[in-house]
Amino acid sequence: MSIKLGYQIPNFTYPGVPDMDLFDTVAAQAREAEAAGFDTVLVMDHFYQLPGIGTPDHAMLESYTTLGALSGVTSTVQLSTLVTGNTYRNPAMLAKTVTTLDVVSKGRAILGIGAGWFELEHHEMGYEFGTFTERFERLDEALNIIAPMLKGERSTHEGKWYTTRGAMNNPRVRPNIPIMLGGSGEQKTFRLAARFADHMNIICDVTDLPRKVSVLRERCEEIGRDPATLATSFLVMGMVGETEQEARKLGELIPEDRRNRAFLGTPDQVAEQVQEKILGAGIDGICINLVPNGHRPGVVSAVGAALKPLVK
């Protein structure tokens, strides 16, 4: 399993589209991405819209319901969150959820997972947020439960945060469902990725990428794992216009704290930047979102045509 070219849909606010027709616009993007050569379609696992994309009251679809529905309107793309907040679900239930997605999609699910970070939705929705250390303790325990269940093994775990007693996970259509961790933490996240993950989506400023890649390799080597067995990708915020002028106008929407993660220009110009700054840093694949205009027919196709040759 690998994500070479992923299309993330993080925005569900489409001017002129009523809520009744909202999913139709999401499905159209997924089908366009599939036709354009993207190998994966991803959604966020949030209940409120994130700062930098919109305000908390903007539209946000629950991730696994959305992915289940997308499985019925696509046929080849892998389906994943980028990434599931571990704090939102019991881990055995999450293993069952992603395995069910794998069954209904005929073997196209990936479990993307991270420690969770958006405090506002935890507070307002009634989920325990806890400390940074506690969230990573929980993620470690959760992965110890989830990883065997995704392989069809019964899980027994008595921990500080979670308990299972021979938990089963049937039916399944594959011997194992791949696990992708998302984040940038060199001490905690990368160590968990080396132990449990098939794929690591690194989230950081572009300038930090070479160091992150180097440290991730070190974490693998520390436990005797071949770093080549842990695939990597990077999430790009794409501000892509048909012309440089249109792209510059979109660039005005980039939040200050995302400027070192956003790529601005025409599809070909963005492809050049991706080649130099991401693939050139040793990353294997790209996930891109197109927050302002991905819902407009043709935009995803144009970006896919420019990026696909880079990751063959």
Query: In which band, very low, low, confident or very high, does the pLDDT at 254 lie, cut at 50, 70 and 90?
Result: confident
pTM higher than 0.85: yes
Query: Where exactly are the structural domains of the chain?
Result: 5-311
Query: What is the distance, to the nearest Å, from the Cα of residue 127 to the centroid of all Cα atoms in its chain?
Result: 21
> CB 21: neighbour CB atoms within 10 A?
11
pLDDT tops 80 at residue 257: no
Report the pLDDT value the prediction gives residue 285, as an integer from 0 to 100.
97
Query: In which band, very low, low, confident or very high, does the pLDDT at 306 lie, cut at 50, 70 and 90?
Result: very high
Tell me what the pLDDT averaged over the chain comes to.
96
Tell me the backbone φ, ψ of residue 99, rounded to 5 degrees: -70, -40
pLDDT tops 70 at residue 312: yes
Query: In which band, very low, low, confident or very high, does the pLDDT at 8 lie, cut at 50, 70 and 90?
Result: very high
Query: In which band, very low, low, confident or very high, does the pLDDT at 248 lie, cut at 50, 70 and 90?
Result: confident
- Work out the average pLDDT over 242-248: 90
Report the pLDDT value the prediction gives residue 311, as an integer from 0 to 100.
93
Report the pLDDT value the prediction gives residue 168, as an integer from 0 to 100.
98
Query: In which band, very low, low, confident or very high, does the pLDDT at 250 lie, cut at 50, 70 and 90?
Result: confident
- Write down the H helix ranges in 57-208: 63-71, 91-104, 119-125, 132-150, 189-196
Q: Alpha carbon of 51 to those of 10, 54, 120, 179, 254: distances in Å?
A: 12, 6, 11, 27, 11
Per-residue three-class SS string for 226-272: CHHHCEEEEEEEEEECCCHHHHHHHHCCCCHHHCCCEEEECHHHHHH
Percent with pLDDT over 70 in the chain: 100
Give the 3-state secondary structure of residue 197.
coil
> CB 249: neighbour CB atoms within 10 A?
13
Least confident of 12-16, 155-159, 255-259: 255-259
Report the pLDDT value the prediction gives residue 134, as an integer from 0 to 100.
98
Which residues, 6 or more positions from 171, have their beta carbon under 8 angstroms from its beta carbon?
Answer: 99, 103
pLDDT tops 80 at residue 283: yes
Rounded Cα distance between 45 and 24, Å, is 19
- Work out the average pLDDT over 34-44: 98
Report the pLDDT value the prediction gives residue 261, as an integer from 0 to 100.
85
DSSP states of 101-120 = HHHHTTS-B-EEEE----HH
pLDDT tops 90 at residue 17: yes
Query: In which band, very low, low, confident or very high, does the pLDDT at 1 lie, cut at 50, 70 and 90?
Result: low
Q: Alpha carbon of 143 to those of 110, 195, 256: distances in Å?
A: 14, 10, 34
As given in the structure block, the two tokens for residue 185 are 């933490």
As given in the structure block, the two tokens for residue 244 are 């440089």
**What is the domain class of 5-311 according to CATH?**
alpha beta
> CB 55: neighbour CB atoms within 10 A?
10
pLDDT tops 90 at residue 102: yes
Which residues, 6 or more positions from 22, have their beta carbon under 8 angstroms from its beta carbon?
Answer: 12, 14, 59, 61
Taking only the tens place, the pLDDT of each residue in 196-217 is 999 999 999 999 999 999 999 9
Torsion of CA 141, 142, 143, 146, to 10 degrees: 130
As given in the structure block, the two tokens for residue 236 are 């790009």
Burial of 100 (0-12, 13-18, 19+ CB in 10 A): middle
- Work out the average pLDDT over 227-242: 96
